[in-house]
A and B are shown apart, each in its own frame.
Chain A
């Protein structure tokens, strides 16, 4: 999902973004690992700036993230996948996660699939949500999930416009901590109550 939200200030690209070899994964192990690290930081800060919560690899390849038009350099799908796989691994700090979409596994394989970019991990989001609820005195108040993401009360928060699925995961963490409860009233909309 490469729909970049309205950006108020231009994103500051890191210096290595204008360094052509950056767009090809290096074969030497040490160079490669530092390169992966740089890519990970870059992707995270880029997504944070544009409030992107998940990437569709095939779409993202043509966005400025992986495609430097001034250098006319582009990251190959294979390399992009390698980077994201590394980010998803313990070494990369679980800063990404491939979204498995069940049945269409084969199709996903070929196009790279969709990936969560965790510039904040669900646990960190959970903390943010709890802090927000605490700060705004909304403990014990019933909130709809839509309200949390799209409501006026949270428009200035970092989780505004967040992906519903990610929100659900983050709230799941809150529930596990015993800080919240998710429920529905038989209808389609879900609600959450913080304690």
Chain B
């Protein structure tokens, strides 16, 4: 409990508490004794009644009644004593709490002192804001240096990456043989003839070039 661990000493409070607890124990013992007595009186009363001795039975019962009253009285005293004891113990706990609060406050104060007061903090915060503004300015300057071309390249790269990740978007494959009209077929034949003519021309050019070089 708080600071009590630091001192293995018995304080005056401990002794006072012990006194109270001893008192309580004594009351408990007294109650035990009385309880034994009441039980005995009860037994005596029963015995006397069995023998037909009403007067003595009555007497025993009267004694029992009186002793029960004593028990009740001691009960009240016991409650009082116990309450007082727990009050004292609780006060000790409170003392511990207070001590803890004191220590904490002292430490907090010390830390504040090390931080150097409100002005210092304000100054530091001001400097901090300034420095941040400065940094922002630099960042802006640097960001503007980025040319349009660079930006384009960045975007291209991004797209390439996306393509890589998702794969190219392909059209649906046809499900049936294409059907052509006669005009289309004629058109296709013409296209083919043209392409071949172009290819032939290109070949001739290629053959001609090495000679030029």
Contact = CB atoms under 8 A, between A and B. Distances in A.
Interface string A179-191: 0010111111101
Nearest to B1: A140
A193 B14 contact: yes
Q: Size range of the interface on B?
A: 10 to 19
Given A191-B14, A193-B10, A140 B21 contact: no
Contact of A178 (B8, B21, B28): B8
Contacts of B25: 144, 146-147, 150, 189
Contacts of B26: 189
A141 interface: yes
Contact of A142 (B1, B5, B14, B28): B14
B22 A181 contact: no
A187 B19 CA distance: 8
Contacts of A186: 15
Interface in A105-157: 139-144, 146-147, 150
B3 to A, nearest CB: 10
Given A144-B25, A191-B22, A185 B8 contact: no
A195 interface: yes
A162 B7 CA distance: 30
Contact of A185 (B4, B5, B16): B16
A140 B5 contact: yes
Interface in B23-47: 24-26, 28-29
Nearest to A144: B21
Contacts of A183: 10, 14-15, 18
B137 interface: no
Given A139-B1, A193-B10, A195-B8, A185 B28 contact: no
A143 B89 CA distance: 12
Closest 3 CB pairs of A and B: A189-B22, A191-B18, A185-B15
20 contacts: A139-B1, A140-B4, A140-B5, A142-B14, A143-B21, A144-B18, A144-B22, A144-B25, A146-B28, A147-B21, A178-B8, A183-B10, A183-B14, A183-B15, A185-B22, A189-B22, A189-B26, A191-B21, A193-B10, A195-B4
Given A142-B17, A144-B18, A187-B19, 17 more contacts: A140-B1, A141-B89, A142-B14, A142-B18, A144-B21, A144-B22, A146-B25, A146-B29, A183-B14, A185-B15, A185-B16, A185-B18, A185-B19, A188-B22, A189-B25, A191-B18, A191-B21
